Amino acid sequence: MKPLSILACSVCAVLATSAPLPAASQPYPAKPVRMIIPFPPGGATDILGRVLAQKLSEQLGQSVVIDNRPGAGGGIGTELTAKAPPDGYTIQMATVSTHSIGPALNPKTPYDVKRDFVPIAHVADATNILITSPTLPVSTLKELIAHARANPGRLNFSSSGNGTIVHMTGEMFKMATGTFIVHIPYRGTALAIPDLIAGQVAFMFENIASGLPHIKSGKVRALGISQLKRSPLVPDIPTMDEAGLKGFESNTYFGVFAPAGTPPAVAQRLNAEINKAVESTDVRGRFAALGAEPVGGTSEQFARVIERETVKYAAVIKRAGIKPE
């Protein structure tokens, strides 16, 4: 070979051995991870997702970037996740609304929870709180029930979308009280709350994580929380059970999912990192300030929670005769 040819071959060999390896062949994660939030900024899922994403970014050494994809009660972002490459670089912070209620409500949901997703980890649970417009002439749960019974069909309640947990909680309230109240769905509670404050809707069940700032500011009235024990964040607000609706309970699970087919090693790494995050002092403190209780655990444990809540809300949907819109 000619000297120049030998030199060229040597240079190529050096470049080949020094070139960066494809991301797939490098230890996970080798690039930023996208976390899809299927609701607008400002809602409970978004708030808790951002806390988790920040901590995971620190632990993984790669950015976990939030991508809000609201609409269809969380269905748009959830379908997007289901169709993403199963490589661990697209995950979703989702809720009981997207993975238990939505599929039970709509047989034509464009994704199948068991077929299309890997449940990575149960991140947190949070209660819902009944908040009313300051223009509504009631100050207690009993007064709201009496007012609704005296005005059938004239009151309305808002939600973050048809088939979401706050919608289902409102339907449970109607069944428990024997009232006729009109449901008005929004594309997220962050969009619904301004209309509640303005008096365009009468009340809503909001997750305590995103409802608390408006309660503290006095922009809305809080009449009860939908768990069976009082919250230390709002100790003066009675439970729905204490206020007269015995046994009334409706909580929200938040968890991380990945597309089906995600490599088991990647799913296990994500589960371990999420458990580490929710057990950390700073995340637990931030979650507590938002009214959320860190959970954690295995993928299998989370799958059982999803199944239990699906059965529960399927029964509510059937009894209330709720149809997809």
Write down the domain spans for the chain: 30-126+251-320, 127-225
Confidence of residue 4 (pLDDT cuts 50, 70, 90): very low
Task: Inform me whether the pLDDT recorded for 17 exceeds 70.
Answer: no
Residue 306 φ then ψ, to 5°: -60, -45
pLDDT at 213: 87
pTM of the entire predicted model: 0.80
Please name the residue that has the structure tokens 């223009």: 135
Q: How far apart are the first and last CA of the chain?
A: 74
Express each pLDDT in 256-304 by its tens digit: 999 999 999 999 999 999 999 999 999 999 998 888 899 999 999 999 9
pLDDT at 25: 60
User: Are 30-126+251-320 and 127-225 the same fold in CATH?
Assistant: yes
Topology of the domain covering 30-126+251-320: D-Maltodextrin-Binding Protein; domain 2 (3.40.190)
CB 56 within 8 A of CB 274: yes
| CB-based burial label for 107 (10 Å; 0-12, 13-18, 19+) | exposed
Express each pLDDT in 182-222 by its tens digit: 999 998 888 899 999 999 999 999 988 778 889 989 999 99
Mean predicted lDDT score pLDDT of the chain: 90
Q: Which of the 8 DSSP states describes residue 171?
A: H
What residues pair up with 118 in beta bridges, in sequence order? 258
Confidence of residue 322 (pLDDT cuts 50, 70, 90): confident
- Spelled out in words, what is the top-level CATH class assigned to the domain 127-225? alpha beta
Task: Inform me whether the pLDDT recorded for 21 exceeds 60.
Answer: no
The first and second tokens of residue 90, run together, are 């697209």
